Amino acid sequence: MADTRFKGKQVVVTGGGAGIGRAISKRLAAEGAKVAIFEREIDAAKRVAEEIQADSGQASCVEVDVSSEVSVNEAFESLDSLDVLINNAGIASVGNLEATTGEEMDRVYAVNVKGVFNCSRAAIPKLREAGKGVILNMASIASYLGISDRFAYSMTKGAVYAMTLSLAKDYIDDEIRCNCICPARVHTPFVDSYLEKHYADRKEEMFKELESHQPIGRMGKPEEIAGLAAFLCSDEATFITGSAYHIDGGVTNLR
């Protein structure tokens, strides 16, 4: 049954306090997982954990800076076991090469690349101890498509895609699967705050423009990403590893 396919499994979701991470945390908890939310914004993580517990799910939260090896290692050491790691934590960056400073490159790299490295490196021994496991990375269509004014962000998501392939290859004999999800634009609180900050006088117009970029005519929903994540992390997907899944409203193949 779909609502019990994660029963008894320990799942870590990084950046699970908002947006896609929140939706994934709630979906997997609803399917029986014990969800540990690793989140820098601990108050947001607590709210999600409380929402899950109010629905009779199991959830805990740990304050973690994924860019810090020490912070990550301490968080994973607090776990008794691990079955699934979802590397969802990430930050955005706007600007082309000339507009991107070295400091901005370092800032985005520290979370989007080093964060995936730190968490995956800490997770592998626990997944190996469990006898099998899953790592799911949040990549992007920016991993393989050129997107205007997203130089630093695209660089990091390309790295996430490459790390996914390396992890899948290196740990296949340990029965540790690794895949990534590549969304197009998803309607999260980040989109709303971005429009408020940059287009306060014409938010509705810009919202429609952002929606129209997807051939399907709208942005994705966090719950749709969560549905794909749940499948890829479940035992229904045991023949899938080293794959990148487009969930993009047709952007990759129909534009």
Q: What is the secondary structure of 43-100 as a DSSP string? A: HHHHHHHHHHHHTT-EEEEEE--TT-HHHHHHHHHT-S--SEEEE-------B-TTT-
Predicted local distance difference test score (pLDDT) of residue 190: 87
Predicted local distance difference test score (pLDDT) of residue 1: 42
Active-site residue, 245 included: no
CA 39 from centre of chain: 12
Fold of 2-186+221-254: Rossmann fold (3.40.50)
Under 8 Å CB-to-CB from 151, ≥6 apart: which residues?
93, 95, 96, 97, 99, 100
Q: How many CB atoms lie within 10 A of CB 113?
A: 20
Residue 39 in contact with residue 63, Cβ under 8 Å?
A: yes
Q: Which residues on adjacent β-strands are paired with residue 133? A: 176
Residue-wise pLDDT tens digits, 150-168: 999 999 999 999 999 999 9
Residue 98 in contact with residue 25, Cβ under 8 Å?
A: no
Predicted local distance difference test score (pLDDT) of residue 231: 98
Q: What is the mean pLDDT of each run of 10 residues along the chain (255 residues)?
A: 84 98 98 98 98 98 98 98 98 96 98 98 98 98 96 98 98 98 95 89 94 97 98 98 98 94
Residue-wise pLDDT tens digits, 77-130: 999 999 999 999 999 999 999 999 999 999 999 999 999 999 999 999 999 999
Exactly one of 153, 171, 194, 245 is catalytic; name it.
153
Cα separation, 89 vs 221, in Å, equals 17
Helix 151-170 vs helix 114-130: crossing angle, to nearest 10:
20
Smallest CA-to-CA distance from 40 within 10, 62, 69 is with: 62
Q: For 233-239, which contacts have Cβ atoms below 8 Å and span 24 or more sequence positions?
A: 233/6, 233/11, 233/28, 233/84, 233/86, 233/134, 233/136, 234/5, 234/6, 234/31, 235/5, 236/5, 237/177, 237/179, 238/177
Smallest CA-to-CA distance from 48 within 74, 76, 14 is with: 14
Q: Which residues on adjacent β-strands are paired with residue 179? A: 136
Q: Which amino acid is at 21?
A: G
